Amino acid sequence: MNDLDALNAIIEGINEYDSFSILTHVSPDGDTLGSGLAVYALLVGMGKRAEVICEEPVPHIYGYLPNADKVVLPQDAQCFDCVIAVDCADKQRFKKAEHIFENACHTMTIDHHFTNKGYAKVNLIRADASATCEIVFDLYRALDKPVSGDAAICIYTGIVTDTGNLTYSNTTPRCIRMVADMYENGLNITEINRNIYRTIPYVKTRLQGHVLSNMKLEYDGRIGLATLSVGEMKDYGASNEDCEGIVDNVRDVESVRVAVFIREGRDGTYKVSLRSKECADVGKIAGKYGGGGHAAAAGYTSKEPLSTTIANVIRDVKEELAAYEN
């Protein structure tokens, strides 16, 4: 099924069903929440019933998103007939909400991850899109709905967070034109950018200072490695959302080509976040361990001890960098 056929199939599903459960991914970011809430606004505006479901509460940083207070945890969901998954490369990203997907009468997914193999009945996957919100923008246009107000705030959030405020390599003229279109129609980008990039809790600032002051450089400075334990998070009174952005700060070090941030989970596993300056395919590394993402930004969960997790990822990054340099 090509992109146009998939888009039309999504529209057919929206027209056929009256109630929808919109699934977002664990460790929610601006794109999964932005696309989920934009689809929610679209459906409610069409007189449909809808709910947005997430494994975790909406992070404080995204509390400004319209209807963020309506996002529900899996155990509180109504579980409607049709499921639309947004920005989820695979079903495992739903975590405790996976049963909602499995029990639905009809399933659809809207995504931009190249690792998405198409697990729903209808799959609209565009790996060339800067963000899933870019595809949702197209859905609005295909349904002849205005991308303004609440929808514009949500869609803009997804695009700017996934493109590093329109600076990463996945930024395209097309997504910039979308932003310009929403801006011309009244979108207040100054306020949104202040919320995302210029409003940082004190706890997060202290935590990030601690992690970055203890980061290490490997492979002649080309690999930046930072780690964080559950105990350290407890010492600072920090939550998972306070860790957002740490891996990007590691990547920003001048000599670093690939950044690695390893955070201990309460269950004893380790969340490994990877970022590349376009000189290594970190998505390939993440895929090796059952994770996913993109060539320049990816992640996975390791069940190995910390020492083994570090040894494995450093070895894999070295191999990727060597292959690129050769």
Q: Tens digits of per-residue pLDDT, 157-208?
A: 999 999 999 998 899 999 999 999 999 999 999 999 999 999 999 999 999 9
**Taking a C-beta distance cutoff of 8 angstroms, is the pair 255, 285 a contact?**
no
What per-residue confidence (pLDDT) applies to 220? 96
What's the pLDDT band for 279 if we cut at 50, 70, 90? confident
Q: How far apart are CA 317 and CA 272, in angstroms?
A: 12
What pTM was computed for the model? 0.89
Q: Tens digits of per-residue pLDDT, 36-68?
A: 999 999 999 999 999 999 999 999 999 999 999
Q: How far apart are CA 205 and CA 199, in angstroms?
A: 10
Q: Is 51 helix (H, G, I), strand (E, B) or coil?
A: strand
**CA-atom Rg of the chain in angstroms:** 19
How long, in residues, is the chain?
Answer: 326
> How distant, in Å, are the alpha carbons of 91, 96, 140, 313 from that of 290?
12, 18, 33, 13
Domain 202-325 coded CATH 1.10.1060.10: no
Q: How far apart are CA 56 and CA 72, in angstroms?
A: 9
Which strands sit side by side in the sheet containing 216-218, from one edge to the other?
216-218, 223-228, 258-264, 270-276, 297-302, 292-293
CATH 3.90.1640.10 location in the chain: 3-197
Q: What is the mean pLDDT of residues 288-303?
A: 92
Say which CATH topology domain 3-197 has.
inorganic pyrophosphatase (n-terminal core) (3.90.1640)
Average pLDDT taken over every residue of the chain: 96
Bridge partner list, 170: none
Q: Tens digits of per-residue pLDDT, 226-265?
A: 999 999 999 999 999 899 999 999 999 999 999 999 999 9
Longest dimension (CA), the chain: 59
> How distant, in Å, are the alpha carbons of 84, 258, 318, 322 from that of 219?
43, 10, 7, 10
Pairing relationship of beta strands 297-302 and 292-293 according to DSSP bridges: antiparallel
Spell out a b/e string for 269-297, using b for 16 or more CB atoms within 10 Å of the CB, else e: ebbbbbbbeeebbbbbbbbebebbbbebb
CATH 3.10.310.30 location in the chain: 202-325
Q: What is the mean pLDDT of residues 300-313?
A: 97
Both tokens assigned to 261 = 């941030």
Q: How far apart are CA 111 and CA 24, in angstroms?
A: 11
Q: Is 265 helix (H, G, I), strand (E, B) or coil?
A: coil
Q: How far apart are CA 303 and CA 318, in angstroms?
A: 21
Pairing relationship of beta strands 223-228 and 270-276 according to DSSP bridges: unpaired
Q: What is the DSSP letter of 321?
A: H
Q: How far apart are CA 68 and CA 307, in angstroms?
A: 39
What's the pLDDT band for 9 if we cut at 50, 70, 90? very high
Q: How far apart are CA 60 and CA 150, in angstroms?
A: 18
Q: CA nearest 156: which of 183, 185, 195, 116?
A: 183
